[in-house]
Amino acid sequence: MAGRLTRRDVLRRGAGAVFATGCAALGGYLLHDPHGRRGLGTRAQSVRRLPNYFADVGFPGQNPRMSMAMGDVQRMEQVVRAAIGGLDPDKGMRRFIRRGDVVLIKPNVGFDRPPALGATTHPEVLRWVIRLCREAGTRRILVTDHPIESPAACFARTGISRVVEEEGAEILLPAQRHFAEVGVRDCEPDRGLGEVLHHWPMLHAPLAEATKVIGVAPVKDHNLASASMNLKNWYGLLGERRSRFHQAIHETISDLALLMSPTLVVADATRVMMRNGPTGGRLSDISPGGVLGRPTVVASVDPVACDAWCYENLLGRDPDRLAYLGLARDKIRARVVEGEARFGESDWRAYDARGLVTMVNV
Amino acid sequence: MNEPRSGSAASSEPKPSGSAGATESLAGAETVRPVRFRDSWKTGLLRITTVRIIVQAVMFGLFVAFALLTTFSNVDRCPALCFWLGTFLEIDPLIALATAITTHTVYAGLLWSLIILIPTFFLGRFFCGWICPYGTLHHFIGWLFRSRQARTVDANRYRRSQHVKYYILAAMLVAAVFGTLQIGLLDPLCLLYRSTTGAVLPALGMPAPDLFGEPRYCGGAWLIGALLFGLLAMNLVVPRFFCRVLCPLGALLGVVSRLAWWRVDRVPGACTGCDQCRLHCEGACDPHIRLRRAECLVCFNCIEDCPERALRFACFPDRKHEIVGTDVSRRKLIFAGLAGLLFGPFVRTSGRQTRDFPSDLIRPPGAVEELEFLERCVKCAQCARVCPTNVIQPALVEAGLEGLWTPRMNFRIGHCQLYCTACDDVCPTGALERVSIDRKLGLGEFTRIGPIRLGTAHIDPARCLPHGKSVPCVVCEEVCPTSPKAIYSERVTRTLRDGEVVELRVPRVDIDRCIGCGLCEHACPVVGDQRAIYVTAEGESRSQDHPDPDRNRSVRLRPAAAPARVDPRLQL
Amino acid sequence: MPTFFARRYARRPDAIGRTEKVLSLVILVVVAGLVAAIVLHLTWTWGRAPIPCAEIYQQSMPQPFPASGLADWAAPERVESFAPDELYQKINGRADLYLQHGVKALWFGTYTCPVNGPRTVDVYWYEMDTPANAARIYEAERAPDAPTVGIGDAGYQVGGAVFFRQGANYVQVIPGSLDGADAQVALTIARQLAGVMSSTALPTTQPLQDRIP
C-alpha cells in the first residue's frame, strides 16, 4: 500500500466489514430458532377446507329431492334429462349450474375395465351430464378421478376420455402437484364416535378451482362396504396410501359424506354389478337397473338418501343394515348449522311421504 | 520437400507459408492471433465441417426429442412412435453384432444397423463423428468446458490408452460367445439411453414436472448418473475421452475401417509441418504424420484447418501415408479375450441363474427365459422409460453381476398394468418379446396355454391385518384385476382380546389364477420392505416349460388351464 | 454463420471446391428429408390408437337376442342369465337334466307385443358344451310325433312352441298364449334366433363362468 490513509479510504475500506457485520447480525436475528420447532416441516399448517358446493344453489323447499328415470340405453339422453329435470321441472340443470360456473364432474374411473362390466361410470350418462352443464352455460367443465391403476389407461379403456373430448370438457389426470392436505375436522378424530379422518392429502387442485361439483357414480356391490354408490365415489379423491382406510371403511365413507357437500349427485344404474364388486369381471354379475330390470338413472341433491334408495331398490338390500348411512346422517346433522343448505337424510321414505321423490318411465 | 515431423509437444519455428493468415508457432499453450475469413453465407454453410456440425446437432436433437416423447400415453396413442424411439439403438452395429453372437440371430429392427455398418466399410468411422449422439455430447461438453491445456495440439496426440477400447471390445465379444451379453454396460447408445431414463430425466423432472414428466423412481440412479457425469467430466482433460479410450462401438467401427476406400490423406509435398491439423482433431489420429485409420472420426477438422491444403479426403490413398491396423498389442488382446472368456463361468458358478435363483427377481411380462434373457438384454432401460406405473427398475445385485441394470419389477413402486404391453413394444433386442394383449392375458387363441404369469403372490399371515392382527382389510382382494379374482376371502370368526367377537374376511391367494401382476403388493397398507402380501418369482410362466429342472420355476403341475373364454362381442 | 464457425487460426484460404459444395448440399437435403419424414410420420399417425374395449361401450349389456323380425314385437329389454349352478332358480327340477347334458348357460328373454295384448313369447336359450350334447337334450325332450320345421340344425313345433338346436345351442321359443295363436310369430322369432347362431362347433355366446374381460 502506498500513500497515506485518507479518511475516505478508511471509510470505504471499513464500511464493507461493518456492512457485512450488520447483515450477519440481522440475518441471525431474523432466522433464529431457539428450540428447533420453527424449522421443522409443517405438515399440519396448510390444511385446506372445502366449500359447500350446494350453498348458493338456492334449492326450493318444495322441489323433489330425488328423481329417477328408467329407459333404454339407446335413449340415454332422454333418461338423463328426465332424471335431472325431475329435480326442477322449470329450470332443470339451470337450477344448479349458472353461467360462468366452473364445474367439476367426478365420475368413477377407478379401474382399467371396459364399461360393459359396470365397474365404472357409463360413458353415455357422463356425456349427457356434461352436455346439460354446457347448456346451462358453464365456463369450464373438469372431469377427474384418481384411480390406483394408470390414469391414462383407465380413462381410455372405460370410454370416458373419448366422451369427454367429444363433449369439449377437460380431463385432469392427477399428478403429484394436484394433491394437498384437506381437513375434515379440526380436532383429532374420535374412533368411538365413528370418526377417522382428521386431514389427508386429497386431489385438491380441481376442487379448489371448481364452483360446483357433480358426482356421477355407478351403483354396484362392494366386498367390504357392501355397496359402492354416491358416497363411496368421493373415495377416489383421496391420495397417498388410502388403502389404510379399509380398516374402518364405514367410518371413512361417512367422514367423506361429511366433508363433501356436492351440488348434485347422479347415480348410474344402467348396469348394476350385483355381486363380486367393486371390480367384478363377470358379465353374469351385471343386471340392467339391478332389481328393477331396466336401465335407470337417479339424480339427487341428498347423497345419503340417494344411497339409501339405491341400496333398497336397485341392489335389493336393507338400508338399515348399511352402517355408513346412519353414521353419515348423524355426522351431517351434528355439523350442519341452522339455515345452512345441506341435506343428509338416510330414510328416503321420509322424502317419499312428503312427495319429494319422483319417478318417470322414459 | 519438407519432411513430416513426428508429433511432439513443442513444434519448431514456423515455415513461411503462403496462406493469407499470419501464424505464430504453436509452442505449449499459446493460441494464434485470430484470423477470420468472411465467407459468403453460402460458402460458410456448405463447408463440410459446418454441415457436420449441423448433422450432429440434428441427430442429438432427434435423440432428445425421442427421449422426451417416449412416455406411455404417447406410445399408446401413436404406434409410429414405437418405430422411431429406439432408432439409435437399432442402428447400433455393436448391439446387432453382439446379439448375433449370443443368439445366432439378428432380431427384427436390428437389421437397420446395416445402414451404419455398410457405409463404414467405405467411409470409415463417420458414425462416431456425425451421428452418434453420445459422441456429440462429449464433443460439445469438451468444446464448452475444457481447460486451456486441453485446447492445445498436445491434447489431441495419439495416446497408448486408446488401445483400451479394443481390449474392452475383445473381452465383451468373447464373453458374448460364451453366452453373456455385457456390451450394454459401455455401449455409447445403451449408456446414453439408460442414463437419460435413469438419471437425467428424473432429475430434470423434479423441479419441472410439466416439461420433463413426473419425476420417476429409478433404483441406483446415482450410479448411472455418476458414470455419465464422470465420463463427461473426463472431456475437460482429454477431449472425447470416451470415444477415444473406452467406446467399444468405436473400436468395432475402427476395426472395420481398415477396409475403407476413402481416407483423409496428407500430401507430404504441401505439408509444412505446422501441426495445425491436430488442433481440432477429434479422434487423435495423427493426421500430421501417418493417419491412423482406426482412430479417425471423419470430422474433417484437419482438412478445414490446414492452411496449405495438404489434406484431402481421397479414395484409395497411398498406403504409406497411413497406419491401417489398430496397432494393439496382440498379447494384451489375447489377455483381454481371456478375461472375457472367464467372465461367464466366474459369474455363472454362483448358480444364481439356476439352482440358487433369487425369488425377488421378477422380470417384465414377455421376458424370455433367464439365460436367454441375459443373452439379449442390452440394459438400455427403454422398458423402464415407457412403463406407465414405473414398476420396471434396473436391477443392481438382484440378478447377479451379469444382470446389472437389467430390468426387474419392483412392486413396491408400481404394478404391472393388466392391459399394457408397452415394455414389449420397445425392447430393441427381443429380451422382451412382442406379445399381444391376448397372449399376455391368455385370451382368444391363447386360452389353452393361459396367461403370462410373472410370479405368484404369497400372504404373510403374521403381517397381514386380518390374518395376524384381526383388523378388517381385504384391499388385496378388491384390487386384484383378474377375473375371476386370484384372491378370495374366507369368513372367520375371532374373539378379540377384550372378549368382543368379530367376523373377519381373511384373504387367500388362488395359486391357479394369480398372474403375479403385483397390484396386491402395491396396494397393501402394510408398507415397508416386506408387504403383507408379496409376489415372488416362483410360478413364472416364462420358465415353467423348461426341461432343465434347475431353470424351471413352476410350483405345481401345470393345471388344466381353466378355460377362460370371452364373449366374442367384447372383441378384446 | 461464418463468424460463428470462424476459428482462431488460419483456415483454408480459398473457396471450397465444387465437389465439397455438392456433397454438403446433398447431405443437408438428405438430413432435412429424414427429419421431415419423421415429423410427418409421427403427426399423421398421431391420434387415438384404437383401444378395442372402448368401442364396445355401446353395448352396455350382453344382448344375445336379435330383433324379432316383426313390426309389433319388441326384443327383450331385460335378459336374465344363469350359470349352471343357478339354473334351478329358473327351471327348478328340470335343471338336473340339463346339468347332466353339460349346460353352460341359460339366457332367458321375453319378446312382447302390445297389440291385442300384451302378448308374449318366452325364449329359453341353452348353451351346451358340445353340439353332441345339444343334440342329446334336443332328442330327450322331443315328442316323437311332432312335426319338424326347417329351423337350425333340427327343429319341431308343437302347440305353437318351437324347439330347435343349432351348433351347441338348444332353444325353446314358447308363446304366452296356449291356443297356438302366435305359432307363426314363434316361428319367425326362432328363425331370427337361428340366424345369429353360427352353426360351427363353437357357440357364438360363451360360458358365463371364468370369463376374463
Is A3 part of any domain?
A: no
* Partner B contacted by A112 (CB < 8 A): yes
Please check whether residue B476 is in contact with residue B522, taking contact to mean a CB–CB distance below 8 angstroms.
Answer: no
Report the C-alpha gap between C161 and C185 in whole angstroms: 10
What pLDDT score was predicted for residue C78? 66
- Provide the pairing of β-strand A212-222 with A102-107: parallel
What is the pLDDT at residue A1? 53
Q: C15 and C105, same structural domain?
A: no
- Cβ of B447 under 8 Å from any chain A Cβ? no
- Mean pLDDT, range B193-220, rounded to an integer: 83
Given this model, what pLDDT does residue B61 score?
A: 95
Q: CA of A113 to nearest chain C CA: how many angstroms apart?
A: 8
Count: domains in chain A:
1
Q: Determine whether the interchain pair C53/B570 forms a contact, defined as Cβ–Cβ distance below 8 Å.
A: yes
Mutate to test the interface with B, among A149, A179, A321 (most CBs of B within 10 A): A149
- Alpha-carbon gap: A294 to the closest alpha carbon of chain C (Å): 7
Q: Which helix (H) or strand (E) holds A327?
A: helix A323-335
pLDDT digits (tens, 9 = 90+) for B212-236: 667 788 888 899 999 999 999 998 8
Cα–Cα distance measured from residue A176 to residue A23, given in angstroms and rounded to the nearest whole number: 38
For C10, counting Cβ atoms within 10 Å of its Cβ (0-12 exposed, 13-18 middle, 19+ buried), the class is buried
Q: Is residue C188 domain-shared with residue C141, that is, in the same domain?
A: yes
- What's the CATH code of the domain at C127? 3.40.1000
Q: Average of pLDDT values for C206-212?
A: 42
Cell digits of residue A174: 392427477
Considering only the beta carbons, identify the residue of C54, C61, C83 that sits closest to A288: C61
- C211–A281: do the CB atoms touch at under 8 Å? yes
* Chains touching A by CB (3 or more pairs below 8 Å): B, C
Say how far apart CA B487 and CA B516 lie, in whole Å.
Answer: 11
Which residues on A lie below 8 Å from C206 (Cβ)? Answer: none
Say if residue B27's pLDDT is above 80: no
Q: Which residue range is the domain that position C173 belongs to? A: 62-196
Residue type at A308? A
pLDDT digits (tens, 9 = 90+) for B144-190: 887 777 778 888 888 888 999 999 999 999 999 988 999 999 999 99
C49 touches chain A (CB under 8 A): no
Residue A304 is assigned to a structural domain of this protein:
yes
Q: Which helix (H) or strand (E) holds A300?
A: strand A296-300
C 75-114 near A (Cβ less than 8 A): 77-78, 81-83, 105
Q: What is the DSSP string of B481-533?
A: -SSS-SEEEEEEEEE-TTS-EEEEEEEEE-TTT-----HHHHH-SS-SSS-SE
pLDDT reading at B9 higher than 60: no
Looking at beta carbons, which residues of chain B come within 8 Å of C211?
483, 564-567
Structure confidence at residue C198 (pLDDT): 55
Confidence of residue B24 (pLDDT cuts 50, 70, 90): very low
- C14 with C83, same domain? no
Subunits in contact with chain C (3 or more CB pairs closer than 8 Å): A, B
d(CA B231, CA B241): 7
pLDDT band of C83, cuts 50, 70, 90: low
Q: Does A249 touch chain B (CB under 8 A)?
A: yes
> How far is CA B120 from each of CA A147, B115, B256, B257, rounded to the nearest angstrom?
51, 9, 7, 6
Tell me, yes or no, if B478 comes closer than 8 A to chain A by beta carbon.
yes
* Dihedral angle, C-alpha C93, C98, C102, C104, nearest 10 °: -90
Preferred mutation among A120, A148, A150 to probe B, highest tally of B CBs within 10 A: A150
Chain B to chain C Cβ contacts (< 8 Å)? 162
Q: Tell whether B475 is within 8 A of chain A (Cβ).
A: yes
Residue A188 amino acid letter: E
Interface residue of A72, A73, A113 to substitute, partner C, most C CBs within 10 Å: A73
* Chain C contact for A159 (CB, 8 A cutoff): yes
Does C49 fall in a domain?
no
Taking CA–CA distances from A162, the nearest residue in chain C reads: C54
How much is the average pLDDT of B456-477?
A: 92
Q: Do the domain assignments include residue C205?
A: no
Closest CA of chain B from C118, distance in Å: 31
Q: Are residues C34 and C87 in the same domain?
A: no
SS3 B438: helix
Q: State how far the Cα of A296 lies from the Cα of A279, in Å rounded to an integer.
A: 20
Q: Which residue of B has its CA nearest to C64?
A: B569
Q: Mapping DSSP to helix (H, G, I), strand (E, B) and coil, where does residue B216 land? A: coil
pLDDT higher than 90, residue B450: no
pLDDT tens-digit series, residues B245-298 = 999 999 999 999 888 888 888 888 888 888 888 888 888 888 888 888 889 999
Supply the pLDDT for residue B15: 38
User: Residue B6 pLDDT > 50, yes or no?
Assistant: no
pLDDT at A44: 52
Q: What is the pLDDT of residue C64?
A: 59
- Whether B309 sits inside 8 A of C14 (CB atoms) is yes
Q: Do A279 and B485 touch (CB under 8 A)?
A: yes
Q: How many CA atoms lie within 13 A of B453 on its CB side?
A: 26
What digits encode the pLDDT tens for the residues B470-495?
A: 998 889 998 888 877 899 989 999 99
Task: Examine residue C40 and state whether it is found in any structural domain, yes or no.
Answer: yes
Q: Is residue A34 part of a domain?
A: no
- What is the pLDDT at residue B165? 94
Amino acid C203: pLDDT? 34
Q: The domain containing residue A323 runs over which residues?
A: 66-361
Contact C59 A116 (CB under 8 A): yes
State the amino acid at position A135 in one-letter form: E
Q: How far is CA B346 from CA A161, B187, B351, B462, in A?
A: 53, 22, 10, 39
- Of the partner residues C57, C62, C105, the one whose CB lies closest to the CB of residue A115: C57
Q: Which residues of B touch A177 (CB under 8 A)?
A: 209
pLDDT classification of C74: cutoffs 50, 70, 90:
confident
Going by the DSSP 8-state scheme, the letter that residue B558 receives in this structure is P
Q: Are residues B252 and B169 in contact, defined by beta-carbon separation less than 8 angstroms?
A: yes
Q: Are residues C107 and C6 in the same domain?
A: no
- Shortest distance between the Cα of B516 and any Cα of chain C, in A, equals 16
- pLDDT on residue C7: 52
pLDDT of B355-393, one tens digit each? 888 889 999 999 999 989 999 999 999 999 988 889 999
- Using a CB-CB distance cutoff of 8 angstroms, which residues of chain B are in contact with residue A244? 525
A156 and chain B in contact, CB less than 8 A: yes
How many whole angstroms separate alpha carbon A221 and alpha carbon A214? 22
* pLDDT at C204 exceeding the cut of 70: no
CA geometry: angle C166, C167, C170, nearest 5 deg: 50
- pLDDT value of residue A236: 93
Distance from CA of B471 to the nearest CA of A (A): 6
Instruction: List chain A residues with CB under 8 Å of B489.
Output: 223
- B248-256 vs B93-103: helix crossing angle, rounded to 10: 90
| A344: in domain | yes
Q: Which of B8-22, B26-40, C25-39, C175-189 has the highest mean pLDDT?
A: C25-39
Residue A17 is assigned to a structural domain of this protein: no
Nearest Cα neighbor of B263 from B126, B372, B402, B129 is B126
- A59 within domain boundaries: no
The dihedral over CA atoms of B249, B251, B253, B259, expressed in degrees to the nearest 10, equals -170
| Res B42: pLDDT | 66
pLDDT at position B38, please? 57
Cβ atoms of C148 and C94 within 8 Å: the answer is no
Amino acid at A275: R
- The alpha carbon of residue B486 and the mean position of all alpha carbons in its chain are separated, in whole angstroms, by 36
How high is the mean pLDDT of chain B?
84
Please report, for the domain that includes residue A172, its CATH number.
3.40.50.11440
Q: How far apart are CA B235 and CA B237, in angstroms?
A: 5
Return phi, psi of residue A67, to 5°: -140, 125
Question: Of B409, B405, B406, nearest to B223 (Cα)?
Answer: B405
- Dist CA B327 CA B160 (whole Å): 9
**CB neighbour burial string for B529-550, b if at least 16 within 10 angstroms, e if fewer:** eebbbbbbbbbbbbbbeeeeee
Q: C92 with C175, same domain?
A: yes
Size of interface A-C (CB pairs under 8 A): 75
> From the CA of C56, how many Å to the nearest CA of chain B?
6
Question: Phi and psi (nearest 5°) for B179?
Answer: 95, 5
- Beta-strand ranges (E) seen in B2-49 are none
Taking a C-beta distance cutoff of 8 angstroms, is the pair A118, C213 a contact? Answer: no
Domain positions in chain B:
50-323
Mean pLDDT along residues B305-318: 82
Between β-strands A140-144 and A170-172, what pairing exists: parallel, antiparallel or unpaired? parallel
Q: How many residues does chain B have?
A: 572
Task: Answer yes or no: do B72 and A152 touch at CB < 8 A.
Answer: yes
Q: Select the residue from A113, A283, A287, A291 to test the C interface by mutation, using most C Cβ atoms within 10 A.
A: A283
Euclidean distance between CA atoms B87 and B346, whole angstroms: 34
- Tens-place pLDDT, residues B392-410: 999 998 888 889 999 999 9
> Are the C-beta atoms of B266 and B311 separated by less than 8 Å?
yes
Q: Strand B262-266 and strand B311-315: pairing?
A: antiparallel
Tell the burial category of C120 from Cβ atoms under 10 Å away from its Cβ (0-12, 13-18, 19+): middle
Give me B571's grid cell. Answer: 372383441
Nearest Cα neighbor of B126 from B282, B289, B345, B346 is B282
Cell of B28: 505449449
**Between the CA atoms of B560, B563, B564 and B565, what dihedral angle is there, to the nearest 10 degrees?**
160
Q: Are residues C128 and C160 in the same domain?
A: yes
Claim to verify: residue C12 and residue C102 sit in the same structural domain? no
The closest alpha carbon to B350, from B400, B403, B405, belongs to B400
Question: What is the residue-level pLDDT of chain A in tens, covering all 362 positions?
Answer: 566 778 888 888 888 889 999 999 999 999 888 877 776 665 555 788 899 999 888 888 889 999 999 988 888 999 999 999 999 999 989 999 999 899 999 999 998 877 878 889 999 999 999 999 999 999 899 999 999 888 888 888 888 988 998 999 999 999 888 999 899 888 888 878 888 998 899 999 999 999 999 999 999 999 888 999 999 999 999 988 888 888 889 999 999 999 999 999 999 999 899 887 888 766 667 888 888 888 999 999 999 999 999 999 999 999 999 999 999 999 988 877 766 778 888 999 999 999 999 999 88
Our count of domains for chain C comes to: 2
Q: Are residues C168 and C132 part of one domain?
A: yes
Q: Do A150 and B417 count as a contact with CB atoms less than 8 A apart? A: yes
Residue B23 has pLDDT above 50, yes or no: no
Predicted confidence at residue B117, as pLDDT, reads: 93
Contact A282 C211 (CB under 8 A): yes
Cβ neighbours of residue A61 under 8 Å, at least 6 residues apart? none
Q: Which three cell numbers stand for residue A129?
A: 351430464
Classified as helix, coil or strand, C125 is: strand
Say yes or no: B503 contacts chain A, CB-CB below 8 A.
no
Q: Residue A205: inside a domain, yes or no?
A: yes
- Partner A contacted by B472 (CB < 8 A): yes
Task: Report the percentage of chain B scoring pLDDT > 70.
Answer: 88
Q: What is the pLDDT of residue B252?
A: 95
Chains that touch B (3 or more CB pairs under 8 A): A, C
Q: What whole-number distance in Å separates Cα of residue C178 and Cα of residue C174? A: 9
